[in-house]
Structure formats: structure tokens, C-alpha cells
Chains A and B, each alone.
Chain A
Amino acid sequence: MAVTEALSEPPLEIEAAVARGRFLRAVMRNRKAVIGAIILFVMAFTAAFPGLIAPHSPTAALYGQNSPPSGSHLLGTTQLGQDVFSQLVWSTRLTLVVTLIVSAIATLISTVVGVTAAYLGGAADRVLTVITDIFLILPVLPLLILLATYLPPGPTSLVIVLCITSWAFQARQLRSQGLTVRNRDFLVAARARGERSFYIILVEIVPTMTSLLVASFLSLAVYVVGFAATLQFLGLGNSGELMWGTMLYNAQQASALEAGNAWWALAPGAAVALLGSGFALLNYAFDEIGNPALRPVRRRRKRRDRASA
């Protein structure tokens, strides 16, 4: 009950409160932010309504096999006679969902681990830091082979593997940010009035880090987009799932390049790169907007002569 009481007061980022209008304008003026946002918007729309865009069924093997791009099949067909463009469009959904879920979970883990370590300090900090370091240096590919043996291929396994391997770096960052707020007086005040540690971490510390959390979410997304495709390309996917990584896997399995069907392989690769750049552009843009040192200073010519007039 105590927690809901506090949460009912609207938490508000200080920068946002001071300059909400200015922030929106800054986003609109930042070219990186605009391009990144457009890419993500198009991707999200495609993911939500693939049927509106894709001309054919993504799975129906009804058409000529390995046919080159044409008016009816923009990117040609697969070895089984499926429409590549439709596959590409329908694959957006699961790719985007996996990316967002993994980024969200990994951000959550890294926040909890990093901030808890920073706030509690002492032995707890040392233990959590060691755990973080272990995950940080974990050799990803051997782990992957190990997991692939035990986990059934599919999106769930993909999410688990990606979460395990991606949270540690951000945890270190959030820990150092946590260390900078740890001894701030408002936290001392919270401790003095008798708040529990978990309340202080969740309600008092985390809201001070929203901009860092957004940044860490975005950079995780960039990582996850690329790495998910890699894992699927290497076979930790269900080749029946509609994702860009599995498309790459299937194309490779079918020797699409040798068969003269380059679009089958290139299109999902390009889509992965585009989505990654969308997240990366937004991330850079937030960095620029959030860093006052990069903001232009308004200057005016000195009016020295006025004094003598």
C-alpha cells in the first residue's frame, strides 16, 4: 500500500518537466532522431499489419521455384516456391517482438543488479560485480552450442540465450551511475525516515536514471537485432518461424547464392541492418540531445559601442 501511495504521485523527469516543449523541438530538429524514428515507425507498422503490405502468403509454396524478382514477386521466390517479399514482411513481427522483449528483460536485469550492487555496497556489491563480470566474459559461442543442445530451437530459447548474454554490460554502466547518486542527500533522507532498501532502489533511485535506461534499452536493441540474426543463422532457430534470421538460415541451407537467388539472402540481411540502424540513430540522437555540451550556445555580437553613445 505504501508503494502505491508514492507511485500515485506522478514521477516526472526533471529535464522533461523543465523543457518538455524544448525536448520535442530538439527531437524534431535532430536529423538522426527523425530518420531513426521514421525507420522504427515503418517497421512497427509493418509488424502490426503485415497483411496490408505483403501481396502473398509467406508460407504457401505455390509459385515457381527460385524465380528471380518480377512484378508479381518483388524479391523472387524461394527454393520451395514461397514469395520472398511476403516472407520478409511477415518476418518483421517476430523479429521486432523478440528484440523488444529481450531488450526490456535485459534492461530490467541489468538495472536490478547494477543499482542493487551500487546501493547496497560492501559484500553484496562485490558478489554482484563478480557475477556481472562472469557473464561479461562468458564465451558466447560455446555457451550457445551448449544451450542449443538442451533447449528446443525456437523464439523462446532465442530470448533466453540473448537475455543471458546481453545484460551484463549495461549492469556495469548502471552500477556506476548508481554509485553517483548513492550518497545524495535525498537518499540519506529516505534511509533516515526508515524506507526499506528495495523501496529506495525501485522508487527513489531508478526514476533518476530514466534517460540512461532509455539509452541502455536502445543500445541493447541494436545488439539484439544483430545477434539474434547471427544465432538463427547459425541454427538456433526453428526454420519454420518467420524471422529474418531464419530466412537467412534457410537461404544459406538452400545455397541461395549459388542458385542465383541472391535477393533471398540479401533482403533479410538488409532488413536487419536497417532495423539496427534505426535503434542506433535514435540512441545517438538522445545522446546529443541529452548532452548540453553539444548544444549550440546563443551568441550575439558584442555591443561595446553602445556605452559611449
Chain B
Amino acid sequence: MTVLSFFNYWAVIVLMMIGYYCMIVRGNMIKKIIGLGIFQTSVFILFISAGKVIGGATPVLREGVDVYSNPLPHVLILTAIVVGIATTAVGLALTVRIREAYGSIDDDAIDAVEGDDRA
């Protein structure tokens, strides 16, 4: 029972490592942006699960509820989600421009093209 109570952290770590692997191994830029999205949602789960109280309820004051879950992580994660879409959108705009400038969105292909340009 005591070991299983850490289960939420292990789920977060698994998702975080999947997102991390996707970001460093795949060369395609859109895949990298999707990997970043997976990483971000795993961090959100970490915060929200840390703020939960077993037996609590959604932090909106209403009749018949005694124990509320902590509202502070929800505030942080709301801001973080909106900043996440801002980052994704700017990353996608950069991908479009790179595709037009270099003809490809794969990391190794762009390195080869830059090597040719410099030579």
C-alpha cells in the first residue's frame, strides 16, 4: 500500500520519458513539437495530482462539500496550458519558414544542406 501510493509519480515519469525520447531521437520537426506537447502534459499531471486530496471535491464552493482539493496548482496549470499553445504555435510557424528556406524539415537533411551551403 505504501509503495503503491507513489503510483502517480511513476505514471508521470513514464510519460515524461516518452516525450523526452521523442524530442531527442526523431528528426522531424513536427514530431519534436508533438513530443514537447507530451512532455508538457506529463508535467501538468504531476502538479494536478500533487494537489489532490483523497475525498476532496472540485474547488468551487457549494453546499454539502466539506473538503476541497487545493486550488493553487489549478491556477498554475491554467497559465501553463495557455503558454504551451503559444510555444506550439511559434514552433509551427518556424517549421513552415524552415521548410520554405531549406526544402526539408528533417534535422539531418538540414545539416547536410547547411554543410553544402558553407562549402
Q: A and B from one assembly? A: no
- Give B residues with C-beta under 8 Å from A: none
